[in-house]
Amino acid sequence: MMHSQETKPILEVNDLCVVFKTEAGRATILDKVSFKLQKNKTLGIVGESGSGKTITALSVLNLIPSPPLDSMSGEIRFQGENLLTFTKSQLRKVRGNRIAYIFQEPMTALNPVLTIGDQIVEMIRAHNSISKKEARDKAVHLLTEVGITSPIQRLKNYPHEISGGMRQRAMIAIALSCDPDILIADEPTTALDVTIQAQVLDLFKYLIESRGMSIIFVTHDLGVIAEIADDILVLQAGKTIEYDSIDKVFHDPQHPYTQKLLSLIKGGVA
Amino acid sequence: MSHPLEIFTLKEVVKHYPILGGIFKRKVGQVRVINGINFAIARGEITGLVGESGCGKSTLAKLLIKLEESTSGTILFNDRPLDLIKGAEKKQFYRHVQMIFQDPLSSLNPRMKVKDIVGEMVRIQGVGKEVEKEKVLRILQEVELDVDAINRYPHEFSGGQRQRIAIARALIVEPQLLIADEPVSALDLSLQAKTLTLLQSLKKRYNLTILLISHDLKKVADFCDSVAVMYLGRIVEMLPADKLLSQCRHPYTKALISSIPITDPSQRKKKKAVIRGEVPSPIDLPPGCAFHQRCPKRFEKCDLVVPELKTTPGEDHQLACFLQQ
Amino acid sequence: MTMFRNKWTYLGLVIIILFILCAILAPWIAPEDPYKINLVQELAPPGEGHIMGRDINGSDILSRLIYGARISITIGLVVVLISSFVGILLGLISGYYGGWIDLLLMRLVDILLAFPGLLLAIALVAVLGPSITNVVIALTALGWVSFARLVRGQVISVKEREYVLAAKTSGQSDIRVMVLHILPNIVSTVIVQATFNIAGVIISESSLSFLGLGAPPGTPSWGAMLSEGKQVILDAPHVSFFPGLAILLVVLAFNFVGDGLRDKFDPKTGRE
């Protein structure tokens, strides 16, 4: 199932298990999920609702709230260490700094009472001791890089004052502000119109090339995955269904579930 | 009485919402959601209405089902002006036109049992308990739900099942027209196809006309007979659904089609024309063609004059663009 | 799965049930006639035959307390029942139709809320004349406001939900939509508000009786008992202590239950 890799992966997840505490007792949400993220490549994690794909993304930096989280086991190897063993303060140094997140709904992920500029500057200065002015200049560069026009003006805008597409770009800018090695994007284009989605996917492709980033891209949309991912992990009910390179999975899917999903996007009404 | 060929005919329909400001709540601006729609829904067909968020398609649905009133223009339902339909006639109207909504969870009353959610549609016509029960059981069977669903509550069902309950509620009165506002967007991929197939078979059985509102062009191309494309409150193109993906002519429609992610990773390297910019705000509507700021083919006239929706001679294709006129 | 997450809620329920039982069974469980005067034993401290002591007339405080429960709880329930009914009605109409009806009603609500509630109640009772009936009238006339405002807000948030839109497009009357579709989905917040309001009414009634504006002198209302005790508070503190404790306990109890109900109905912390 796994393809050969010559270089050491930048992130390696081995036998990740996540258990929740529910009214009906303990529930295994993720069951021995394993994958590798290669440097400068994109891993797409795909599944329908309830597949556990968002939980997988959140578990990398231990962002699952407890309750309902009961326990996590396995290994998440980053730069030679197992992130699952990290203390809160150790994780804080990694979050945003080395591994950054982008979420689906920028309106709830962005702080509505802070300007875009403030949020970027706050993120930068949380991990770097530079002056406010230097941080602001960096913020302008970042906004330009993500394709936001009139960046100096935008710094002063509040999230609700700008459009959905721009908010998503702003969120990407915040995520990039500390030059992270890994970007974890959870359904970043799902809430966007299809033309804006195309723009944002274009931006992702540009960032991968220009910054040499490694990205984990979580989505239910196989079409988006086809556009952007190098490798693909298909989840269903917390279990790995298929894990291989994108070409292999799309042209020669092994598991009937994957085959069914692919047929749905290629064909029309079944 | 024979029914007219067009169930709904819209002429120059406009819907603007006033923005009130200040202590005295005076009108300080307008949200121009719908700006002159000329459109007809042909009886017996599945008509698709596509557009991105903010184009006004949901508002148009609300106008058709009398949840909102138009600011100006005429809407005819079976040749009768919609704004004249009141009182007892309005009650009758809702036996002819029904709607299903996007979110299966919030479209069902969480405190009512399924038998009441579906049954009350005929109960208010005074059919009597026996008839009501029989009709409820029959329609639930048609949407492939178990009979024991009648005593259960919405939260006990999955998203796909809830949407089928909503369909049952709409179809129990055997309407002429079903307006489906993004009926499958909130469902998992595997359920989307199933639900649309169900709608197709129900359409045949009940001789329905369907207006399908969606942002998913591929589904619309597969499922509908004809498609209207909306942008900023106007219809920019209307054509047979099987021509949508390959033979559309309006620059916006073309941009929409090219924005759809490809499903073949090996095609990834092909450079796509990604359309720039964002949709202008309906509060600050640009003059001329609503799309001119983002149009790759624009010329002077586009900035100043609104193109009319004109039928291409000899074809079943309407276009609102100066390029081809 | 337990009914309530917070144990204090159960304590509150127990206290309320206890007081309701006192109110219902007063003639059978009160050791003495609450009006019986016993001048030999006036102001007797707690002891044999009178575990809560005797008041300024020698009447047994425990008996008066038990009978007092009748007054407090009856007034509490009656006021809240009527005011909630009125408030729900006005709130439904106001929230559903909006427009000038809503504007008018909300201005009225704002005006009423601008005054300190108790002062208005005092003024009303002073005008109408001190009696229990007038206390009920005054508190009801002011009590509907909190319900109206609450219901209106809830209606506004619920009426754009898709199932309400579906009901509107079914051809049924507005009244049906309001009663069958909107009301059942907001009733839980009303119940929570009602619980807190009962506590508030009990305090208000006690305050009014304390000021002599409620029950006629001699009636075993807790507030009146408090008032009687204030003259002898240094020599015979038990006269004020027990009615004060009763008010405290019952009000706390209703607040605990209100909290518990609110948590239970909140979709995030409980179940609906």
Mean pLDDT score of chain B, rounded to an integer?
Answer: 89
Asked whether residue A63 falls in the same domain as residue A149, the answer is no
> Measured between alpha carbons, how far is A96 from A265 in angstroms, rounded to an integer?
34
pLDDT of residue A147: 87
For B266, name the nearest residue in chain A, comparing CA atoms only: A247
- Where b means 16+ CB within 10 Å and e means fewer, B92-122 reads ebbbebbbbbbbbbbbbbebbebbbbbbbbb
CB within 8 Å of chain B, chain A residues 107-166: 163-166
Query: What are the residues of chain B with a beta carbon less than 8 Å away from any beta carbon of chain C?
Result: 65-67, 90-95, 97-99, 101-103, 106-112, 120-121, 124-125, 166, 169
| Phi-psi category of residue B278: left, alpha or beta, with phi > 0 → left and psi -120 to 50 → alpha | beta
Mean pLDDT of C187-210: 91
Asked whether residue A165 falls in the same domain as residue A264, the answer is no
Asked whether residue A145 falls in the same domain as residue A247, the answer is no
Asked whether residue A67 falls in the same domain as residue A186, the answer is yes
Query: For C218-233, what is each residue's pLDDT tens digit?
Result: 888 888 888 888 888 8
Query: For A67-120, what is each residue's pLDDT tens digit?
Result: 788 889 999 999 888 999 998 888 888 888 889 999 887 777 888 889 999 998
Q: In the A/B pair of chains, how many CB contacts fall below 8 A?
A: 93
Domain that holds residue A81: 1-98+182-191+214-270
Mean pLDDT of C150-166: 93
CA–CA distance from B89 to each of A143, C12, C208 (Å)? 57, 54, 56
Write down which chains contact chain B via at least 3 CB pairs under 8 A.
Answer: A, C
Which class is C7-265 in CATH? Answer: mainly alpha
pLDDT of residue B2: 61
Instruction: Count CA within 13 A, CB hemisphere, residue A261.
Output: 26
Residue B205 has pLDDT above 50, yes or no: yes
Q: Among A179, A204, A233, give the residue marking a domain's end.
A: A179
The domain spanning residue A15 has which CATH number?
3.40.50.300
Model confidence, pTM: 0.84
Residue linked to tokens 């960032």: A207
Residue C87 has pLDDT above 90, yes or no: yes
pLDDT range class, residue A268, cuts 50, 70, 90? very low
The number of domains in chain A is: 2
Asked whether residue A134 falls in the same domain as residue A241, the answer is no
Tokens matching residue C257: 């239950």
Residue A1 has pLDDT above 60, yes or no: no
CB–CB contact B169 C166 (8 Å): yes
CB–CB contact C171 B91 (8 Å): yes
Asked whether residue A255 falls in the same domain as residue A129, the answer is no
Task: Specify the DSSP element, H or E, that contains B180.
Answer: strand B177-181
Residue A5 has pLDDT above 70, yes or no: no
A203 domain residue, yes or no? no
A137 domain residue, yes or no? yes
Q: How far is CA C269 from the centre of its chain?
A: 26
Contact A42, A245 (CB under 8 A): no
Asked whether residue A12 falls in the same domain as residue A58, the answer is yes
Using the Cβ of B313 and the Cβ atoms of chain A, whether some distance falls under 8 Å is answered with: no
A35 domain residue, yes or no? yes
Picking from C159, C165, C168, C169 by the largest number of B CB atoms within 10 A of its own CB, the best residue to mutate is C169
More confident position, B207 or B27: B207
Asked whether residue A92 falls in the same domain as residue A118, the answer is no
A201 domain residue, yes or no? no
Q: Among A179, A199, A223, give the residue marking a domain's end.
A: A179
Determine the residue type at A14: N
pLDDT range class, residue B13, cuts 50, 70, 90? very high
Burial of residue A214 (number of CB atoms within 10 Å: 0-12, 13-18, 19+): buried
Query: For B76-111, what is each residue's pLDDT tens digit?
Result: 999 999 999 998 999 999 999 999 998 888 999 999
CB–CB contact C162 B103 (8 Å): yes
A196 domain residue, yes or no? no
C142 min Cα distance to partner chain B (Å): 28
A145 domain residue, yes or no? yes
A7 domain residue, yes or no? yes
Contact A34, A16 (CB under 8 A): yes
Q: Give percent of chain A above pLDDT 90.
A: 39
Query: For A199-255, what is each residue's pLDDT tens digit?
Result: 899 899 888 888 888 999 999 888 899 989 999 999 999 999 999 999 999 989 999
Query: For B114-132, what is each residue's pLDDT tens digit?
Result: 999 999 999 988 888 999 9
A209 domain residue, yes or no? no
Q: Give percent of chain C above pLDDT 90.
A: 45
Residue C196 has pLDDT above 80, yes or no: yes
pLDDT range class, residue B288, cuts 50, 70, 90? confident
ipTM of this predicted structure: 0.88
Q: In the B/C pair of chains, how many CB contacts fall below 8 A?
A: 56
Parallel, antiparallel or unpaired: strands A42-46 and A214-219? parallel
For B184, name the nearest residue in chain A, comparing CA atoms only: A269
> Measured between alpha carbons, how far is C45 from C35 in angstroms, rounded to an integer?
18
Asked whether residue A65 falls in the same domain as residue A186, the answer is yes
Asked whether residue A221 falls in the same domain as residue A88, the answer is yes
Q: Which of B43, B207, B241, B42 is nearest to A268 (CA)?
A: B241
Asked whether residue A42 falls in the same domain as residue A90, the answer is yes
